[in-house]
Amino acid sequence: MTNIIKNNPVFFSLIGVYWLFLGVLLLFTGYEGSFLLLNAMHHPAMDYPMFLLTHLGDALILTPFLALLLARKNPALVLYLIAIVIITGLLGQFLKNVIFDECDRPLKIFEGIAHVHTVAGYKLYHNSFPSGHSLVAAAAITACFSGLAMNRTWQILTAVAIIIVSYTRTYVGVHFPGDVLAGTIIGVLGATLLTKPLYLPLLKWTNNFSEQKRKRTVSILNAIAIVSVIAGTYLIYSSIQ
């Protein structure tokens, strides 16, 4: 954990500042007030881009996209990426559907009370905490630091990607900032803490692959990624019809 943070100070500093901002916002405006403040900041020209960006946090979109980019170079990292998304995703779903199952989303909370800006008919009402898309985006992107050396520019870009994808969840009206904060914390910490016990053994295992087995593994990972992207795109399209 320490090495990942030491090697990527810009990334973790920016994420830390983002968490601090959300924490202060929640402290001074409240759980519901913070949502109304951020959700009110919208523009028609930004609606469609935000709608597209918010679905980058979908496990069937972001994970296979990263897998296609990384499989040839580091199949162990792709296996770790998949494992991290599954592990943190299951934790998020357990929290969302069991522990905090009574936490409704903004559209339900503010029904008949205040206007909630939504986009493209994308409306959800229940199981708000934590934000699953924010969690997946944070976990998947942070996991990449386990096997890739990133310069200052890439650290900034990846941190901004997590911030933007998680922010869109509030922009499109489906999550409170507190949901987003919790999701990103779980994702970042999960991917960071599991590097040593999970990624390093996977790396050692795949390094012992023969060239033929390595190529076969890469082909399988790419095939799974392509099918996942197609399935994810279809499910997203179906959900807004």
Confidence of residue 240 (pLDDT cuts 50, 70, 90): low
What digits encode the pLDDT tens for the residues 56-82? 888 878 888 898 889 888 999 999 999
What is the structure's pLDDT at 147? 81
Mean pLDDT value of segment 156-178:
96
What is the structure's pLDDT at 162? 96
Is the pLDDT at 114 greater than 60? The verdict is yes
What is the structure's pLDDT at 237? 73
What is the structure's pLDDT at 136? 94
Mean pLDDT value of segment 110-120:
90
Q: What is the mean pLDDT of the chain?
A: 92
What digits encode the pLDDT tens for the residues 185-203? 999 999 999 998 999 999 9
Distance (Å, whole) CA 237 – CA 241 = 7
Pick left, alpha or beta for residue 112 (phi over 0 → left; psi -120 to 50 → alpha; otherwise beta): left
Distance (Å, whole) CA 14 – CA 158 = 10
What is the structure's pLDDT at 241? 56
Is the pLDDT at 1 greater than 60? The verdict is no
What is the structure's pLDDT at 26? 97
CA gyration radius, the chain: 18
Contact 96, 133 (CB under 8 A): no
Mean pLDDT value of segment 78-96:
95
What is the structure's pLDDT at 19? 98
Query: Which of 34-38, 49-53, 60-64 reaches the highest mean pLDDT?
Result: 34-38
Q: Is 163 exposed, middle or buried (0-12, 13-18, 19+ CB in 10 A)?
A: buried
Mean pLDDT value of segment 161-176:
96
The domain segmentation of the chain, as residue ranges, is 2-239
CATH fold of the domain at 2-239: Vanadium-containing Chloroperoxidase; domain 1 (1.20.144)
